[in-house]
Every structure is written in structure tokens, then in C-alpha cells.
Amino acid sequence: MRLGMVGGGQGSFFGPVHRTAARLDDQFDLVAGRFSTNADNNRATGTALYLASDRIYTDFTAMARAEAARPDGIDAVSIVTPNYLHYQAAKIFLEHGIHVICDKPMTTTEDDATSLVHLVEQSGLCFTLTHTYAGYAMVRAARHLVQSGAIGTIRLVQVEYPQGWLAHSVENGQSKQAAWRLDPSKAGPSACLGDIGTHAYHLVRFISGLEVTELSADLQSFGPGRVLEDNAHIMLRFKGGARGLLWSSQVALGHQNDLRIRIYGEQGSILWSHTAPEKLTVIGPDGASSIMEKGDQTLPSEIQSLYRLPSGHPEGYFEALGQLYKDTATVIRDNNAKRLCHDAPGIIPDVLDGLEGIRFIATALESARHDSRWTALPPRGV
């Protein structure tokens, strides 16, 4: 499937993340983009991604029009710009019949949001909002457990999303991110809630399925001179009687991205934390806890199928193995024929390491045959 991208130029935070994620399952080919309003950055980004030069656009309206006109035009577009551009970009691509994958918050006003809803409904196009956390297998397992009645009627929801990166006044020159996220003209009327509070809110809705009927909010701007909130305390009341607390913060020193949700029902509880996303703690009616992980046989197959790695391999395993592939590609590209490490293992395990492994096995077998006699290994090399 052909993918385009708006935003995500060199130096951006989430552009490369979206591109890697899009590539992971071999479902999308990135073929077009308008990555930056800075022309040099825009061109350099597209070129480094092997894009044809006529599909590196300087304007996303032109891009939507041109791609819609091509027989091999993009099927979908990924929008990873600052918040204030989400609406315009999404609108133009939807109007040209192109599916949209859009970062959150979707828009900066409710009117724009409503307008997009109508556009999507009329067009029948796919619109995916990247509340990434909904993609974790254990978050979906949590949702499944609630839906299956495993914890009974929900009474309490405790959700929190603390970060600490705005504890100091980094918006004054140190962080471009911080600058636009705290600027009402780019971020909209909210900073902390728009950036991460909506993730927490969606997660509550996604797992519990419960509707929030009322909220009571206490918002603060702790950083000197800030006009948008950098911390939020919100009490929640749900349809059916459940209650909750939502805390989101960007001034909580020591936290990086620590989204956490705990849901308590009449017959059990579930707890999930982004710091250990591959685990789900499930509490039974007697208070006993168990840890659910991939490979758990009680999970339905649609949850189990979400895993790309066998049990016991943390998700980072791809990154580790990918690193060896990447390093290998670099070595080949540099035509570095002298890279065998004769004195000790080098960064990339090589044929001499293979030989050492074989000798290790042989020596261990020999020692064992002689009732664990200490047995010498030959030094590295042939």
C-alpha cells in the first residue's frame, strides 16, 4: 500500500517513529511527502527516504491534488505536523479520497473536529487517530477482559500520565517542541491536556468502554509565564456510577512517559503501565494477582496474534537484531574488508566468534567426559 506523509522532516520527534512503525509489518511503502516548510529540510528528508523528486512536495494541498490524480497515487497519508495544521491537512486529503492517519489531538477546536467527523462519514474513508497505546497487545487484552465481564461492573478508574520534561523553562530556547506545545497559536487552547491528557482519556474510554458524564477539573500553570496548563487534576463521573481520577502532568520530575491505568471492578481489577507494556496485572475477586503476558493461553486468539515474537523475547528484540543487520549493511556499504577482529570479539559477532563458540562447546563436552576436569581452551584465532 502506498503511503504519503505530511510533517516529520529531519529533526522532528515523531516522523521517524511513524516511518519505522509503518515499515514494521511490510504493509506500507512511503512514496510521497511534504515533510517540512523549510525547503532544504523538506528536500533532504525526501531524498534520504529514496522518494522520487516529483513526489517531494512543498505544499500539502498540491500534494493531495497531485497524488489523487496519479494512477499510482498514495492510498493513505500520515499527518505528523504540529496540532494546528492537523485539521487543514486531514481535510484536504479526505476531500481527495485519501485515507488519513493523524496524530492527536485531532484538531484544536470542536468545530473542526465535528467537521472532520462529517467528512469521514460522507467519504467512507478510513481515519486513524494515533493513540498509540491502543496498539499494545496488553491494552487490548485489558479491553477484552473488561468486555468479557472478568472484573464485573466497574467502580473506579485511576489514570495518570506524568511527564517531567517541562519542569524547567525549556520553552525559552532549549526545546523547539516545548516552544510550540506551550504556544496557544500552535498548540490550541491547551498544552498538557492536548498533548498527553487526551491519550489518558482515550485509554480510559478504550479499555473501560464507559462514558464520562461529568468532570471537575483543577488546572495549573507552574512554569513561570506559561499561559497554557502544564498540570491537570480531573475528577471523573461515569455513566452507571463509576468514578475516577485523571492526572496528567508535564512538570513531574522523574517521569518520562509514564502512562498508567488501573481499573477496579466489583469482581476484580486490572492494572497496566507503559513502563512495562508487555505485562498486565489482573486481580481476581479474592484479591489474588496474576501477571498476564504474551503466550498466556487464556487470551483469545485475536490478542495472541498481536505478538510478533515468541514468548520470552521482549519487544526490543527486534531492535537488537535489527541493529546487527544495520551494522552489517554499514560494513558492506563501506566495503570494509578488514573488519575481522583477531584479538577479541568486535562489535559485530563474526566468524571468529563462531569458531570460539564451537570450541567452547567442544571443550565443555570434553571436560564433562572427564568428570569435570579443568580443560584448556585454545586462544582466539585459527
In the bound state with its own copies, the residue whose beta carbon lies nearer, of 63 and 139, is 139
Q: Which 142-201 positions form the footprint of its own copies (CB under 8 A)?
A: 151, 155-156, 158, 160, 163-165, 167-168, 188-190, 193-194, 197-198, 201
Among the listed residues 252, 261, 280, 299, the single contact to its own copies using CB under 8 A: 252
User: Whose grid coordinates read 482515550?
Assistant: 202
DSSP secondary structure of 52-98: -GGGB-S-HHHHHHHHHHSTT--SEEEE-S-HHHHHHHHHHHHHTT-
Measured distance CA(346)–CA(283) in Å, rounded: 47
As a whole number of angstroms, the distance between CA 150 and CA 292 comes to 13
Scanning 4-12, 34-42, 66-74, 327-335 for contacts with its own copies by CB under 8 A, the matching segment is 327-335
Q: Is 329 in the site for its own copies (CB under 8 A)?
A: yes
The contact mask relative to its own copies for 21-50 (x = CB under 8 A, - = no) is xxxxxxxx--------------------x-
Pick from 88, 180, 247, 304: which binds its own copies (CB under 8 A)?
A: 247
Binding mask 68-107 for its own copies (x = CB under 8 A): -------xx----------------------x-xx-xxxx
Query: Minimum distance from CB of 167 to its own copies (Å)?
Result: 7
- Cα distance between residue 22 and residue 28, in whole Å: 6
Query: Which lies closer to its own copies via its Cβ, residue 66 or residue 134?
Result: 134
Number of residues that bind its own copies (CB under 8 A): 193
- Residues 108, 112, 114, 120, CA torsion sign: negative
What is the C-alpha to C-alpha distance for residues 318 and 20, in angstroms, rounded to an integer? 12
Of residues 126, 149, 172, 300, which one binds its own copies by CB under 8 A? Answer: 126
Phi, psi values for residue 306, rounded to 5°: -70, -20
Q: Which of 27, 24, 26 has its CA nearest to residue 309? A: 24
Site string for its own copies, 211-230 (x = CB under 8 A): xxxxxxxxxx-x------x-
Task: Choose between 58 and 345: whose C-beta lies nearer to its own copies.
Answer: 345
CB 236 within 8 A of CB 157: yes
Contact 261, 278 (CB under 8 A): no
User: Judged by CB, which is closer to its own copies: 63, or 251?
Assistant: 251
Nearer to its own copies, 39 or 215 (CB): 215
